[in-house]
Amino acid sequence: MHFQVNDIKQTVGAHTKYLIALTALAILCVASEAIGTAHSVPLLAGRFIACLSLLIICFAAIERFIDSRPTHENVHLQTGSLKHIVLYASIILLCWLPILVCLYPGITFSDTSGQLCQYFGNPPEYGAYCIKPGSAFSDHHPIIDTFIMGMLVQVGMSLGSANLGFMFLVMVQSTLLALTVSRMVCFITVRFRWSTKAVFVTIAFFALLPMFPYMAASPVKDTIFIIVFINFIIEFAVVMTSAKLRPLQILILVILTFFMILTKRTGLYVSALCLLGILLLNRHAWKTALISLLPAIIAAGVIFPTVAFPLLNVSPGSKNEMLGFFYQQTARFVRDYPDEVTPKERKAIDAILNYDTLAKRYNPAIVDPVNHGKGVDVDPSKEKIADYAKVFIDQLIRHPDNNLKAVLAQESGWFDLSQRYQTAINFDMAIQPSNGTPNITRPSWIRELAGRTVKTLNSAMTSPIIGLLCAPPVYTTLIPLFGIMLGIRTKRLTRERLLCLLPIFTSLPFLWISPVSDVFVNLEAFRYTLPFLYTAPFTIAFTLSQKTVNTTAAGGQSCKKRLVQTVNPAHQRNSSSPH
């Protein structure tokens, strides 16, 4: 009995910090789910106990599972044979194809509609979309994405119609997405020598879950970005862990960094944070990081907008996109404490946000009504922003709970386990072109089928069978957090692996300040999760795979041979051992 008591004490002591983290997560999950609804204290307590118990059981079960299933890491291997990349991509694309056809010619998000309108000669939209009058384009959504999508639609229009042009864009994007996730699967398969079963499960994850074919059918800046981002994290991992680098490897990483920054604005901040992280985690790699990342940061973040914007007559995006996170908290203060707003504070707020309608425009779940409302200054001066910052700080000091409630309401979707991915259908472009081009519209003969397809996808994602796999918090919170905790607990998350995961983990802060997180409120929340949804296998591999001695000496097997052994056990039995 004495041994058992001591054993229990040691177990609890060893897991104390993880229990604290899981308790905090359970509180956050329950609070996020309870936002906007009335719940009794006993009910909330019961939900907390149930949530905490579930998290602890999952943590213990995963820890036990990974301890019983070791894999082998081969640090300097490359990404796998082209044959297997194409094979896996073909399987994924074939599984997506029926849904792509049913959703013909594709899903036109409002952002994409506006970008295509601009490409085909329509003036940029008013408000936050264009702050420079007379511009031909707006960089509110990255101009490089506008040109990529516009050119592909234009090429496809040569087939006979704008619908065919958009479908051509959808098929090109779907093919690139399938190849990209296939390359990632091959990379982690080879590096960690995943079993055949693990490979098939991962392929099925991408091929069968409804989120992936829907986003493949939805050209938007986030899907273009994710194609670049996945290739970036692969090359980043290769460069950061290779003992000997070839100039071509560095050049590829420079190019990918350049396009990662241009295809989505957060790419610039992720690249900069990766540089900082490398300095903290591995100073020996600092020079390599400077050579690989800094030129692209300067070229895409400074030189490109300075040179290209005037040449193409591009209006820069609004500063309000970066400030919306703070505006939302101010709007809640104005709504809940109007009597405490001084005349000076009101003047500073009104100069940017139109004070008179601010409280009415406030929606706890989404920033857009506050950010883009009538009378909002979309290009505030530095003086206005400085005056507003003083007001924000003063109000934060007076009522910090107000700011906490505003942030939690806005970002609750990333922690609310009742959330499920949702899809939607549209019949025409969300923004109609004033000159009539491109005239993308869903044909009447397929509208009913498209509607039924979306309804079926939503039913599947809310079903008990695969519902949990379709919950955004699984990818935005549980996998990163469990990966870190279990990786530390099992000593598998080495400094080198953490270095490889920097692009994913440094993306999290930008998710937490997103303008919306509730997928039931706005589908934009779906798009914001893509860097974590698509890279989930990568995160799991680098945090939880067994750490072993590197076996890739000069006489080791080739990358292609190891991949063949992984997907064909018979080949492995008939070949000699690598050790």
Torsion from C-alpha of 502, 505, 509, 511, nearest 10 degrees = 120
Q: In the predicted model, is pLDDT for residue 75 greater than 70?
A: no
Quickly state the pLDDT bin for 555 (edges 50, 70, 90). very low
The tokens describing 506, both together, are: 């440094």
Interacting residues of 567 by C-beta distance below 8 A, sequence separation 6+: 84, 189, 196, 199
**pLDDT (tens digit, 9 = 90+) per residue, 359-370?**
999 999 999 999
DSSP alpha helix (H) spans, 282-341: 286-298, 304-312, 320-336
Q: In the predicted model, is pLDDT for residue 219 greater than 80?
A: yes
Looking at residue 13, its pLDDT comes to 56
Between these two residues, 93 and 79, which has the higher pLDDT value? Answer: 93
Q: In the predicted model, is pLDDT for residue 33 greater than 60?
A: yes
Looking at residue 41, its pLDDT comes to 78
C-alpha count within 13 angstroms, C-beta hemisphere, residue 245: 21
Q: What is the residue-averaged pLDDT of the chain?
A: 87
Terminal Cα-to-Cα distance of the chain (whole angstroms): 45
Q: In the predicted model, is pLDDT for residue 564 greater than 60?
A: no
| Whole-number percent of the chain with pLDDT over 70 | 88
Q: What are phi and psi of 138, to 5 degrees?
A: -125, 140
pTM (two decimals): 0.89
Q: Which has the minimum average pLDDT: 11-20, 308-317, 363-372?
A: 11-20
Taking the CB of residue 310, how many other CB atoms lie within 10 A of it?
Answer: 9
Q: In the predicted model, is pLDDT for residue 575 greater than 90?
A: no
Contact 328, 410 (CB under 8 A): yes
Between these two residues, 228 and 64, which has the higher pLDDT value? Answer: 228
For the segment 91-108, the average pLDDT, to the nearest whole number, is: 97
Looking at residue 434, its pLDDT comes to 84
For the segment 509-514, the average pLDDT, to the nearest whole number, is: 92
**What length does the chain have?**
579
Q: What is the largest CA-CA distance in the chain?
A: 83
Query: Which range in 174-178, 316-320, 409-413 is most confidently predicted, on average pLDDT?
Result: 174-178
Looking at residue 547, its pLDDT comes to 61
Looking at residue 227, its pLDDT comes to 98
**pLDDT (tens digit, 9 = 90+) per residue, 455-467?**
999 999 999 889 9
Torsion from C-alpha of 102, 103, 104, 109, nearest 10 degrees = 180
Distance from C-alpha of 358 to C-alpha of 330, rounded to nearest angstrom = 9
**pLDDT (tens digit, 9 = 90+) per residue, 224-269?**
999 999 999 999 999 988 878 888 999 999 999 999 999 999 999 9
Looking at residue 283, its pLDDT comes to 78
Looking at residue 85, its pLDDT comes to 94
Quickly state the pLDDT bin for 53 (edges 50, 70, 90). very high
Between these two residues, 495 and 223, which has the higher pLDDT value? Answer: 223
Quickly state the pLDDT bin for 330 (edges 50, 70, 90). very high
C-alpha count within 13 angstroms, C-beta hemisphere, residue 8: 4
For the segment 108-130, the average pLDDT, to the nearest whole number, is: 81
Distance from C-alpha of 334 to C-alpha of 346, rounded to nearest angstrom = 9
DSSP alpha helix (H) spans, 412-493: 444-461, 472-473, 479-489
**pLDDT (tens digit, 9 = 90+) per residue, 274-301?**
999 998 888 788 888 899 999 999 999 9
| Whole-angstrom Cα Rg for the chain | 25
Residue for token pair 């030129």? 295
Distance from C-alpha of 365 to C-alpha of 383, rounded to nearest angstrom = 29
Identify which of 194, 195, 201, 268 has the alpha carbon closest to the alpha carbon of residue 229.
Answer: 268
The tokens describing 538, both together, are: 């990568």
Looking at residue 156, its pLDDT comes to 94
Helix (H, G, I), strand (E, B) or coil at 313: coil
Distance from C-alpha of 124 to C-alpha of 136, rounded to nearest angstrom = 7
Looking at residue 123, its pLDDT comes to 81
For the segment 65-74, the average pLDDT, to the nearest whole number, is: 64
Q: In the predicted model, is pLDDT for residue 102 greater than 90?
A: yes
Q: In the predicted model, is pLDDT for residue 311 greater than 60?
A: yes
For the segment 464-485, the average pLDDT, to the nearest whole number, is: 94
Looking at residue 125, its pLDDT comes to 65
Helices 247-263 and 221-241, interaxial angle, to 10°? 150
Quickly state the pLDDT bin for 42 (edges 50, 70, 90). confident
Looking at residue 437, its pLDDT comes to 85
Q: In the predicted model, is pLDDT for residue 205 greater than 60?
A: yes
Contact 253, 236 (CB under 8 A): yes
Distance from C-alpha of 470 to C-alpha of 211, rounded to nearest angstrom = 8
Taking the CB of residue 172, how many other CB atoms lie within 10 A of it?
Answer: 16
Looking at residue 67, its pLDDT comes to 74
